[in-house]
């Protein structure tokens, strides 16, 4: 086995154009060849598998080897995707490439542009590092056949990724099956052919003009222009060390909103994410600097985008919690924005709301209240964006699609503008974001949600837990009996197949279990409804404790 890994590693080394990963791999090879068992194990980890291309594209830790993100793997992916597009298109395909501020993002984007151009495609590189929603917008705005965004979204600093969109009939959405498998097959053929240094490259790619960014800013500003009388609104914004601020600031100015008090330490792109070890607004501690800034300026609310600005977090003052500030759940924000969209679309033939099956059932209640259709999908905006008649879609992981006519993916910046519109209107009416949540509770009932996330070092632990739940299904979660159970592995309930278990409980609560699609986590989603907000919150806490106890019993 050691000899096989050394052969693989040496073949990889010969084609690697990156000095840093070459040095890294050469050192491992030298140590492994001398019998160093740690180095041999490391080579096995790097070459025993291949970073798989799926409906989320590629995402993984930077480093040398077939199971890492690096220039060899990106070259194989770009050449394979080019082959797929050439086969799919009857003419010269156009592909747009964007990149964020992570380490190697620009380098991976340049490699892709050169390889696309070398393969005979029209390749258009965005003018500088920009948010993911700008790339998603550009695919539709430029009438492109495809788009590639180099980003790992909110993953840790050591990661990067490669997200793929399709134009034409796919309308700028992320890829779904069977396109993912077809692209993966093309990529594998490139990898099997050997040296990526032999792939044709060209510097004949285009650099998109600033007019593309200007068009995104103009379209996003129209999502919710500022009403008269909001110039005194005090709010805080953090970009979480990502690429959101420059674009968001321009949208704010165009839409007429007052400038926020910015968390300066997190305003500019920083690939080390030095103040947030895990740059995800959902993670404990990630928004602490924003909370401190909000307390200092007596803010009315906080908005935060994740590093590539496709997700939005919202926080409000709350004297009942430590520190006086509470981040709203993704479901709470989803219901706020969903109600806004439903009110605007009321009476429009065929209009619908959509959310993933792990998101709040409250959105279905909102749709029914305002006479709109409703669609429940698998997790991911690749599915939500395809819901018929969708005027708004969301998933609980802080993703919101509020402007489907221009961006067919989650967009933290357009969602932030929509939230500012809600906050401004509420302020004019003498209420607040908390007041809007209370209004929704009065209209459709009080929904509350929670989540239990189990992070693992070994992915087999997740598979083992899912198998355990399937072979020894729980009869109850605490005092709540299971009255219905669904295994969506074979599909059903109007959604495609997925590794998802869904339980309905005796009090109307819901528990859903699934592996994370982007992180080494098992996720458990909890949803309850009650006569009051306080009762709903208490019920979620009880259900969360019951879930943790059940999982602890397995060990």
Q: What pairing do the DSSP bridges indicate for beta strands 476-477 and 261-262?
A: unpaired
Q: What's the gap between Cα 554 and its chain centre?
A: 30
Show the tokens assigned to 163: 């997200």
Q: What's the gap between Cα 304 and its chain centre?
A: 14
Active site residues: 153
CA distance 452 to 530: 20
CA distance 389 to 492: 22
Show the tokens assigned to 59: 């995402």
CA distance 450 to 540: 6
Q: What's the gap between Cα 534 and its chain centre?
A: 30
Return the beta strands (E) in 328-411 as ranges.
352-356, 373-377, 390-395, 399-401
Q: Residues 162-171: contacts with CB within 8 Å, 24+ apart?
A: 162/57, 162/58, 162/59, 162/69, 162/74, 162/77, 162/108, 163/56, 163/57, 163/132, 164/57, 164/81, 165/135, 165/136, 165/139, 165/409, 166/139, 167/94, 167/139, 167/140, 167/143, 171/140, 171/385, 171/408
For residue 178, cis peptide bond before it (omega within 30 degrees of 0)? yes
CA distance 404 to 142: 16
CA distance 129 to 150: 10
């Amino acid at each position: 086995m050691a000899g096989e890994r050394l052969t693989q590693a040496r073949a990889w080394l010969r084609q690697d154009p990156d000095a840093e990963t070459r040095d890294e791999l050469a050192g491992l090879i030298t140590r492994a060849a001398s019998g160093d068992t740690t180095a041999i194990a490391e080579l096995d980890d790097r070459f025993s598998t291949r970073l798989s291309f799926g409906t989320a594209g590629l995402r993984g830790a930077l480093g040398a080897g077939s199971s890492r993100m690096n220039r060899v793997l990106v070259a194989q992916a770009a050449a394979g995707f080019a082959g797929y597009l050439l086969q799919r298109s009857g003419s010269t395909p156009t592909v747009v490439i964007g990149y964020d501020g992570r380490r190697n993002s620009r380098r991976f984007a340049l490699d892709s542009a050169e390889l696309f151009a070398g393969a005979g495609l029209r390749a258009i590189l965005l003018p500088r590092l920009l948010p993911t929603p700008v790339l998603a917008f550009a695919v539709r705005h430029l009438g492109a056949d495809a788009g590639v965004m180099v980003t790992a979204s909110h993953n840790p600093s050591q990661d990067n990724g490669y997200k793929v969109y399709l134009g034409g009939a796919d309308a700028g959405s992320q890829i779904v099956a069977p396109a993912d498998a077809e692209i993966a097959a093309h990529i594998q053929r490139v990898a099997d052919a050997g040296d990526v240094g032999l792939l044709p490259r060209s510097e004949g790619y285009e650099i998109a003009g600033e007019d593309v960014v200007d068009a995104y800013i103009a379209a996003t500003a129209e999502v919710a222009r500022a009403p008269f009388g909001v110039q005194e609104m005090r709010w805080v914004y953090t970009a979480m060390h990502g690429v959101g601020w420059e674009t968001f600031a321009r949208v704010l100015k165009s839409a007429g909103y007052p400038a926020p008090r910015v968390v300066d330490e997190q305003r500019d792109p920083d690939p080390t994410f030095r103040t947030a070890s895990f740059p995800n607004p959902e993670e404990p501690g990630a928004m602490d600097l924003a909370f401190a800034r909000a307390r200092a300026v007596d803010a009315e609310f906080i908005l935060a985008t994740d590093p590539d600005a496709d997700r939005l977090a919202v926080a409000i003052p709350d004297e009942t919690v430590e520190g006086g500030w509470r981040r709203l759940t993704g479901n709470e924000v989803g219901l706020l924005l969903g109600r806004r969209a439903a009110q605007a679309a009321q009476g429009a033939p065929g209009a619908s709301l959509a959310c993933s099956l792990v998101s709040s059932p409250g959105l279905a209640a909102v749709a029914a209240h305002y006479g709109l259709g409703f669609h429940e999908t698998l997790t991911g905006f690749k599915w939500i964006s395809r819901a018929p008649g969708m005027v708004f879609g969301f998933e609980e992981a802080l993703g919101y699609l509020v402007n489907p006519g221009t961006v067919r993916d989650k967009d933290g910046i357009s969602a932030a503008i929509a939230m500012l519109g809600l906050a401004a209107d509420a302020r004019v009416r003498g209420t607040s974001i908390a007041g809007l949540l209370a209004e929704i509770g009065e209209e459709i009932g009080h929904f509350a949600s929670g989540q239990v996330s189990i992070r693992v070092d070994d992915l087999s632990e997740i598979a083992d837990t899912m198998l355990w739940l399937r072979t020894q299904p729980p009869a109850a979660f605490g005092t709540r009996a299971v009255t219905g159970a669904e295994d969506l592995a074979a599909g059903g309930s109007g959604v495609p197949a997925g590794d998802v278990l869904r339980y309905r409980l005796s009090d109307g609560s819901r528990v859903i279990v699934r592996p994370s699609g982007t992180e080494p986590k098992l996720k458990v989603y909890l949803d309850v409804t009650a006569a009051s907000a306080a009762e709903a919150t208490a019920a979620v806490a009880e259900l969360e404790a019951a879930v943790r106890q059940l999982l602890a019993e397995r060990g």
